[in-house]
């Protein structure tokens, strides 16, 4: 009876509204409503719901770069901090000339939220992005493993299939489900154009997304989720020639060597001096 009475009450409201409007009118939801999925609060930095583990030493003390009057930027290819995926800190004597502060000083690349055919919401580059450039930081609520497991079970009980979780260190996970930024919408690809990198920023581990090749304006931004299975298998719809068909499948090619990775980071840092 209660259900019927509620239906009658809402029905009368809509009938009254239609009478006031007269002839039917065309109405279309704005685009941002159409493509919205899980509601979340936008944040710029991680919010810690667990104890923050920070290194006790100042990473900048390892920087041996010297300011030069001949160059407007230092801390490039040979910066020890950059090659170790560590941002120079306040102890860096290069001051404002230091280029190795991707998270602190570089603006987030222009990007926009779009609706994809098979992968829900996605992110498209709204400007050209060069190989090695910092794209955006992956941020959210930093939680421990116990909280992460509980949230996963709660999501599964609610029938949710979209997860926004990224492990940063042992017993520390970034969960962008409720609070995050546009990085949470970057889709998976088995042949991605960006990758996640763990950097040490003022003693804190943070996750940056960097371009692994030149990206043109209008391209979808993607990275390899290296998906950890939770529940049923999920089909991959990335469309890449090397598509592994399932999100849980691991790539068969060997990972990049440590030496090659250091060279890539060195290139990334040095390339910023050309801007």
CATH of the domain at 113: 2.170.270.10
Task: Examine residue 186 and state whether it is found in any structural domain, yes or no.
Answer: yes
pLDDT of residue 260: 41
Q: Which residues of the chain have pLDDT under 70?
A: 1-38, 54-62, 69-72, 227-233, 247-275
> What local confidence, expressed as pLDDT, does residue 272 receive?
40
Q: Which domain holds residue 148?
A: 30-274
210: CB partners within 8 A, 6+ apart = 132, 133, 134, 135, 194, 195, 197, 268
CA distance 115 to 63: 44
Q: Is residue 18 part of a domain?
A: no
78 inside domain: yes
- Per-residue pLDDT, 138: 94
**Read out DSSP for 213-239?**
S-B-TTPBPEE---PPP-SS--B----
Q: For the CA atoms of the chain, what is the radius of gyration? A: 23
In a domain, residue 90? The reply is yes
How far from each other are the two terminal CA atoms of the chain, in whole angstroms?
A: 69
Distance CA 58, CA 46 (A): 20
With CA atoms as reference, report the closest residue to 124 among 133, 135, 134, 137. 135
CB atoms within 10 A of CB 194: 26
Task: Provide the domain count of the chain.
Answer: 1
Residue 147 lies in a domain: yes
Q: Residue 123 falls within a domain, yes or no? A: yes
Distance separating alpha carbons of residues 136 and 182, to the nearest angstrom: 8
Q: What is the pLDDT of residue 252?
A: 56
CB 49 within 8 A of CB 143: yes
Q: Is there a domain that residue 19 lies in? A: no
The C-alpha atoms of residue 157 and residue 227 are separated, in whole angstroms, by 20
Residue 14 placed within a domain:
no
Q: What is the pTM of this model?
A: 0.71
């Amino acid at each position: 009876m209660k259900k019927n009475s509620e239906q009658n009450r809402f029905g009368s409201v809509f009938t009254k509204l239609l009478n006031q409007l007269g002839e039917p009118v065309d109405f279309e939801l704005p685009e941002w409503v159409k493509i919205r999925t899980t509601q979340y609060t936008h944040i710029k930095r991680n919010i810690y719901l667990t104890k923050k583990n920070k290194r006790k030493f100042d990473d900048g003390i390892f920087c041996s770069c010297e300011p030069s009057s001949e160059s407007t930027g230092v801390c490039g290819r040979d910066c020890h901090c950059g090659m170790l995926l560590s941002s120079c800190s306040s102890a860096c004597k290069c001051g404002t000339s230091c280029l190795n502060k991707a998270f602190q000083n570089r603006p987030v690349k222009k990007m926009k939220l779009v609706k994809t055919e098979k992968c829900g919401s996605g992110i498209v580059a709204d400007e050209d992005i060069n190989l090695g450039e910092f794209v955006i930081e992956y941020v959210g609520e930093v939680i421990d493993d116990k909280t992460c497991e509980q949230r996963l079970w709660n999501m599964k009980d609610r029938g949710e299939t979209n997860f926004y979780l990224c492990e940063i260190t042992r017993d520390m996970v970034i969960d962008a489900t409720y609070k995050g930024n546009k990085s949470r919408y970057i889709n998976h690809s088995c042949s991605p154009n960006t990758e996640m990198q763990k950097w040490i920023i003022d003693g804190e581990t943070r996750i940056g997304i960097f371009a692994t090749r030149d990206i043109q304006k209008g391209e979808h931004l993607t990275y390899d989720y290296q998906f950890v299975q939770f529940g049923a298998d999920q089909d991959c719809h990335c469309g890449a020639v090397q598509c592994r068909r399932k999100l849980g499948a691991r790539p068969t090619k060997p990972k990049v060597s440590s030496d090659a990775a250091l060279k890539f980071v060195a290139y990334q840092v040095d390339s910023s001096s050309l801007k």
